[in-house]
A and B are shown apart, each in its own frame.
Chain A
């Protein structure tokens, strides 16, 4: 029992990081690809810009998640970047 919880305690943060990298990273990239539509450029150009930018953002997010000291920090960092992107993306979706 205790070894099981012990194991979960150890594996948990790693799993958390992997989820943050795979899902969190993609979510951030997707958000950015929508948020870019608030820029004052034509829609097709903005759409393409968002797609082009999404892969470096995804890769950067994954690197960030595995380079910080804890899983909590990894998630926090993603959330900090996601917040303004979410606001921008929200205004696009609402429009």
Chain B
């Protein structure tokens, strides 16, 4: 790939910079491309993670109206009091317009047998008990996978995601510099011209969503910045008081002080949430967090919901646990913290109404397509230069096969995850884990298939497989649940109807891609004529640009 030694003076400086930016773009993009594609696609789907979680727990009835959050909070708080007595901290995410269950997280009184020191679960708003629904991680699997992967510690996963995101940031900036005519590009599309079409598609997806791609990559890094760049915090924050001050700027969680050791019952959580409802709106309470519940030193923080405000900066009402007396209301943070809160909120998009959420989904889908077309272009661009196209070199074969498994294979695996949710026996031990195992087993099989089959055949077969699996999801759902598409449509249950219909739309997309790939005949002349002599890969980008 190295066409000139880096220290050699380039003939034309202007061309030199764009050339080296083009190389940087290609390599930064390629090296993390497969990880980025998976992060982008699972992240895109995560904009509907709450809806997907509901679809994956079909036993929980459709929630036509948000239940009274104050009553729900009391029910689940009581349940936690008997379920994990002596827990130093628990936190509830109350049901809202998009969630029909309560997610609870707690620290164990002592380190539990598996050494995790914490537990989590979904609770039924109506009863306060753990949900009587199939064991599944739901849409949270894609959400978590998107920034910490699986089968590794969350810490390692987040570092890998951070490195990949940093490569993405560099790929975006160098990609922009590579372009001469970024505006014209947007209106240029040459169909059926092999490499040119791939380049145009890549440009269109990139330029159309450029502000979004740049924003989403940067804000993604911001969500985990305290982990990636801890140096300022380490240098400046030394005392517990300073730590608390910083934490209050970033998090709705209140710092657990020391327990008094004197048992005292928790005051009415319902009353506390009522006060928050009066302040922020009936359905607009986010979390209830209690530290040292059952102790005389207990504190309860009730936080504002995420709807109707862009920033994710903490807004909380803090109560004395034993009396229910309001201690403090915090509704603003410092300017830098507020910037961070807005950036964080922009990434998660939780403020969105339905229309904004679909926009998020579509543009983010465009970002996925940007990474995907970029990956495919790497091979398309190099195929015509192969000395013997029937026997490509190892690096080419590697990229070609990884592309198939990373792009088409991931679609199959994600669809298989939905299938596993419907088909795995409900009494299977560690069922939620097995849904995830199925996802990875299917993905690994797709990789094996991509390696064993000729490249084009593998693409077509995998795209058709994904199309079929997705197209049959509504049928599978109709057969295995009481909530088939026609009934959810009739009831106006857009969570179920929307998921089924989206699967059909995605199936159609995969079918179109499969058909186009099957019809594609590479013509070695078509893309070769623009070039002569020893050709630089980046030259085409400039010409196309």
Cβ of A92 under 8 Å from chain B: yes
Extra pairs beyond A52-B222, A59-B166 (7, CB < 8 Å): A41-B336, A43-B237, A47-B233, A54-B225, A54-B229, A70-B7, A92-B235
With A55-B169, A66-B24 as known contacts, state yes or no: A48 contacts B249, CB within 8 Å.
yes
Interchain CB contact under 8 A, B336 and A48: yes
Interchain CB contact under 8 A, B336 and A52: yes
With A13-B7, A59-B169, A66-B21 as known contacts, state yes or no: A46 contacts B218, CB within 8 Å.
no
Interchain CB contact under 8 A, B336 and A46: yes
The complex places the Cα of A16 from the Cα of B17 at a distance, in Å, of 18
Cβ of B340 under 8 Å from chain A: yes
Interchain CB contact under 8 A, A63 and B170: yes
Cβ of A45 under 8 Å from chain B: yes
> Residues of B with Cβ closer than 8 Å to A?
2, 5-7, 9-10, 16-17, 20-21, 23-24, 166, 169-170, 173-174, 177, 218, 221-222, 225-226, 228-229, 231-233, 235-237, 242, 245-246, 249-250, 334-337, 339-340, 343
Cβ of A44 under 8 Å from chain B: yes
Complex interface: chain B residues within 8 A of A58 (CB)? 166, 169
Interchain CB contact under 8 A, B21 and A47: no
Chain A residue with Cβ nearest B13: A69
Complex interface: chain A residues within 8 A of B235 (CB)? 34, 37, 89, 92-93
Chain B residue with Cβ nearest A36: B232
A-B contact pairs, 30 of them (CB 8 A): A10-B2, A13-B7, A14-B2, A29-B229, A33-B229, A34-B235, A43-B242, A43-B245, A43-B246, A44-B237, A44-B249, A47-B233, A48-B336, A48-B340, A51-B228, A52-B336, A52-B340, A54-B229, A58-B169, A59-B166, A59-B173, A62-B24, A62-B170, A63-B173, A63-B177, A66-B21, A66-B174, A70-B7, A71-B6, A93-B235
Complex interface: chain A residues within 8 A of B173 (CB)? 59, 63
Complex interface: chain A residues within 8 A of B24 (CB)? 62-63, 66
The complex places the Cα of A69 from the Cα of B455 at a distance, in Å, of 40
Interchain CB contact under 8 A, A34 and B222: no
Complex interface: chain A residues within 8 A of B232 (CB)? 33-34, 36-37, 46-47, 50-51
Chain B residue with Cβ nearest A65: B24
The complex places the Cα of A77 from the Cα of B164 at a distance, in Å, of 25
Task: Quote the shortest CB–CB distance from A48 to chain B (angstroms).
Answer: 4
Most buried by A among B7, B232, B246: B232
Chain A residue with Cβ nearest B168: A59
Task: Quote the shortest CB–CB distance from A34 to chain B (angstroms).
Answer: 5
Contact of B231 among A30, A52, A59, A69 (CB under 8 A): A30
The complex places the Cα of A54 from the Cα of B23 at a distance, in Å, of 24
Interchain CB contact under 8 A, A17 and B6: yes
Complex interface: chain B residues within 8 A of A72 (CB)? 7
Task: Quote the shortest CB–CB distance from A71 to chain B (angstroms).
Answer: 6
Complex interface: chain A residues within 8 A of B174 (CB)? 63, 66
Complex interface: chain A residues within 8 A of B228 (CB)? 51, 54
The complex places the Cα of A10 from the Cα of B225 at a distance, in Å, of 37
Complex interface: chain A residues within 8 A of B250 (CB)? 48
Complex interface: chain B residues within 8 A of A46 (CB)? 232, 236, 336
Task: Quote the shortest CB–CB distance from A60 to chain B (angstroms).
Answer: 8
Task: Quote the shortest CB–CB distance from A35 to chain B (angstroms).
Answer: 9
